[in-house]
């Protein structure tokens, strides 16, 4: 039995349908919010320029209308633009744990994976069907199952795709490279003591 708490076999939760194509990292998190020295408040700023207009909350924006969701339904080329890790951090801090999209910008997908945000792709026709279902049934649960490689909702089961190495890293709990490195603090200290350039004052 694997006792690694970081293992991710599936993600279940309510969903947000936001299927516009080419949503870039500046849409997800405008650059002016990158000045903060921690990621702690980033969840407040997700799609802020779309969610708030003239100082008022746009109640029809998906991230306002479907609050409390942990699964995002996205369109094509999601996360394009800059490689800023702040955008995935903002989504994670908002509560997103899985993204189902037609396609991803690869650097963005990698940054998401390192946080434990599962990103999978399904065909555009299935994206549209899923989004329509969620709009009509906002309290229903959507599941991304990495063991079966399927997206499940209602009585449907749709085959999804992601890089096999990435899928295995979720299933094995090895997606967070920094956490793995920190597990071997004694080894790090031992190597540090052997590095001559660190001995200079």
CATH of the domain at 101: 3.20.19.10
* 192 part of a folded domain: no
CA distance 81 to 25: 6
Least Cα distance to 78 among 52, 107, 58 occurs for: 107
User: Any idea what DSSP says for residue 42?
Assistant: G
Evaluate whether residue 102 is within a structural domain.
Answer: yes
Q: Which structural domain range is residue 146 located in?
A: 10-173
Does a structural domain hold residue 28? yes
Alpha-carbon distance of 122 to 161, in angstroms, equals: 7
Tens-binned pLDDT, residue by residue, of the chain (201 aa): 334 568 999 999 999 999 999 999 999 999 999 988 899 999 999 999 999 999 999 999 999 999 999 999 999 999 999 888 999 999 999 999 999 999 999 999 999 999 999 999 999 999 999 999 999 999 999 999 999 999 999 999 999 999 999 999 999 999 976 655 556 667 767 777 777 766 655
CA 39 to chain centroid, in Å, comes to 14
Is 198 among the domain residues? no
Q: Looking at the 3D structure of the chain, how many domains does it have?
A: 1
Residue 197 domain flag: no
- Whether residue 191 lies inside any domain: the answer is no
Placement of tokens 């500046």 in the chain: 26
């Amino acid at each position: 039995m694997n006792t690694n708490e970081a293992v991710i076999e599936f993600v279940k939760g309510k969903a947000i349908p936001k299927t516009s194509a080419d949503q870039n990292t500046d849409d997800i998190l405008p650059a002016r919010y990158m000045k903060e020295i921690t990621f702690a408040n980033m969840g407040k700023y997700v799609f802020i320029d779309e969610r708030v207009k003239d100082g008022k909350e746009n109640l029809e924006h998906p991230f306002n209308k479907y609050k409390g969701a942990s699964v995002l339904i996205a369109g094509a080329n999601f996360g394009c633009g800059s490689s800023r890790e702040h955008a995935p951090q903002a989504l994670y801090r908002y509560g997103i744990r899985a993204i189902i999209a037609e396609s991803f910008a690869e650097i963005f997908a990698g940054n998401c994976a390192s946080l434990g945000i599962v990103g999978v792709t399904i065909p555009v026709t299935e994206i549209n069907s899923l989004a329509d279902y969620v709009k009509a049934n906002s309290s229903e649960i959507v599941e991304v199952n990495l063991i079966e490689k399927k997206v499940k909702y209602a009585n449907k089961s749709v085959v999804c795709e992601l890089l096999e190495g990435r899928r295995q890293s979720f299933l094995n709990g090895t997606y967070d490279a920094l956490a793995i490195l920190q597990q071997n603090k004694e080894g790090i200290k031992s190597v540090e003591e052997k590095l001559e350039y660190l001995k200079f004052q």
